Copies of this chain bind each other. A is one copy, B any other.
Amino acid sequence: MQWSIQDIARLSGTTSRTLRHYDDIGLLPPTSIGTNGYRYYDEAALTRLQRILMLRDLGLALPAIAEVLAGQTDDARALVAHLHWLEQERARVERQIASVTTTIRKMEGGEQLMAEEMLDGFDHTVYKDEVEERWGAEAYAKSDRWWRELGAEGQAAFKAEEAAISGGLAAAHAAGTPADNAEVQALIARHYAWVRAGWGGTAPSAEAYLGLGDMYVADPRFAKHYGGPDGAEYVREAMRVYAASELA
């Protein structure tokens, strides 16, 4: 069985340009090339491509992937090395966050700005009453327990994930990106996963998820967090699209 470049691009969820690039750098030459110059790939190539994409998604650089595929480097060893690099990256980013935060704090008006734009909306105990009212005291207790067990690092990651999502949504909204845009929906997918994590792993039903969207619009604290009423409505709309297509 042979496939054209577009075929495997679709099968593997990448683009033909990427495949051409991989051919150029010798990472994935096509199985055969027609007299017309067309690239054709077989199952073996597809398998190889899938390994490449998996490693790429883990963040490995293409030359490192090439080594692993060539058998020069052991998979596990390459990943452990990569893990070290990632940890260094995290440390670097965290150091920068610390210095930027310090700098902002030292500037007049900076503290104010920071507080307005990001810090509130984040003490999870603020939501205690709403959670209990909507989903019961038991639900809150469970969520609270889960939160404490996360540990400082897990909590930071959880907050950071939310910051990333809402930041991305705010940018999309500002850019006028439609709510059903693929990237926006990818952010919503992350948001859904984030909410589910906050629910202790229980997947929210479409109804519950939509209710959350309504709350974002209705509650000024949430609305503000998503960049005002407009932003919150935008997020709700994106959540609606997601629920309709993914949670039906």
Contacts and interface: CB of A to CB of B under 8 A. Distances in A.
Interface string A96-116: 110111011001011001100
A75 B113 CA distance: 11
Contact of A163 (B84, B101, B125): B84
A67 interface: yes
B88 A76 contact: no
A80 to B, nearest CB: 5
Contacts of A82: 100
Interface residues of A, number: 59
A63 B93 CA distance: 20
Interface in A115-166: 117-118, 123, 125, 128-129, 132-133, 137, 140, 145, 148, 152, 157, 160-161, 163-164
A247 B89 CA distance: 29
A66 B97 CA distance: 21
A219 interface: no
Contact of A86 (B85, B100, B123): B100
12 contacts: A67-B148, A76-B113, A82-B100, A83-B104, A83-B114, A86-B96, A87-B163, A87-B164, A88-B164, A88-B168, A89-B137, A90-B97
